[in-house]
Amino acid sequence: MDKEFLNPAEIALNWVNIGKNKANLNKSKMLLMGILAGVFIGFGSHAFLVMIQTLGNFDVGLAKFMGASVFPVGLILIVVAGAELFTGNNLMTISVLAKEEKFSKVLKNWFFVYTGNIIGSVLLAYLLSKSGLYAGDAGVKALAVAESKVSLTLTEALIRGIMCNILVVLAVWMQAGTQNTVGKILILWCPIMLFVLSGFEHSIANMYFIYLGKFLGASFSWADMWIYNLIPVTIGNMIGGAVIVPFGYWYVYLKDKKDKSDFAA
């Protein structure tokens, strides 16, 4: 990448190749990098809870913004340090639409990365639940957040999941347009801050929030957390991240490409 920043059409072409590279990782790397991403998102989620634990007593809007301001560290770690996140990898469908990758390989990536994300986020939630860091106000807030998420209706969870991953994949889409690390951090921070501030739902972050609540003694069942939040939010994330954004940009920038050399790295 010789230019300081790629234009939107060039970012689309870049993501075709990124999707191909991700699809051809071996299974063990997908799983391991997925575990790391789950931990990284958990770190951002933990920071969110620490930040908002008492601010809501003064101003709810300010508390949301302050929490949203620290949460993006999770995705920043994933992109800059290197890891594989299911929600960001939903963009891989653009490689399939461009006829440069098989959908079966994309599904394989999603399966192993999602599994790794679960392991990483739940493991961190368990460890921090035993750390003593949630003994006070942070624990009260963690329980409240988990219970509020499981209390959503299926429609609410689905819509919030769609809106969330539109913003998440736009963040990882745009950061692919620059090799400048500071530029990537700023690009990632803005949409991720916005989705958290808006109250949208992210399936991997919710694994940390909800499992942490359960480990701390929340009353909902293990089945409830999946039925009323994680499954509908995951489906919503896929609609927003694997359908709406990649289909839109494929149609605008790639649909009429005829020369396969256009997709060269």
Tens digit of each residue's pLDDT (9 = 90 or more) over 72-125: 999 999 999 999 999 999 999 999 999 999 999 999 999 999 999 999 999 999
Query: Cα dist. 186→120, 180, 199 in Å?
Result: 25, 10, 21
Domains in the chain with CATH codes: 8-131+152-253 (1.20.1080.10)
CA distance 20 to 25: 9
- Band the pLDDT of 62: cuts 50, 70, 90: confident
Tell me the mean pLDDT in the region 29-38. 98
- Band the pLDDT of 160: cuts 50, 70, 90: very high
Alpha-carbon dihedral sign for residues 53, 54, 56, 61? negative
CA distance 19 to 95: 6
Quote the pLDDT of residue 2: 61
Q: How far apart are the first and last CA of the chain?
A: 9
Query: Cα dist. 236→126, 148, 229, 240 in Å?
Result: 26, 18, 10, 6
Asked if residue 136 lies in contact with residue 49, where contact means CB atoms within 8 angstroms, the answer is: no
Nearest to 169 by CA among 199, 192, 203: 192
- Band the pLDDT of 56: cuts 50, 70, 90: low
Asked if residue 263 lies in contact with residue 257, where contact means CB atoms within 8 angstroms, the answer is: yes
Q: Is the pLDDT of residue 63 over 90?
A: no
CA distance 153 to 261: 47
Q: Is the pLDDT of residue 131 over 70?
A: yes
pLDDT tens track for 174-233: 999 999 999 999 999 999 999 999 999 999 999 999 999 999 999 999 999 999 999 999
Q: Is the pLDDT of residue 34 over 80?
A: yes
- Band the pLDDT of 263: cuts 50, 70, 90: very low
Contact residues for 261 (Cβ-Cβ < 8 A; gap 6+):
none
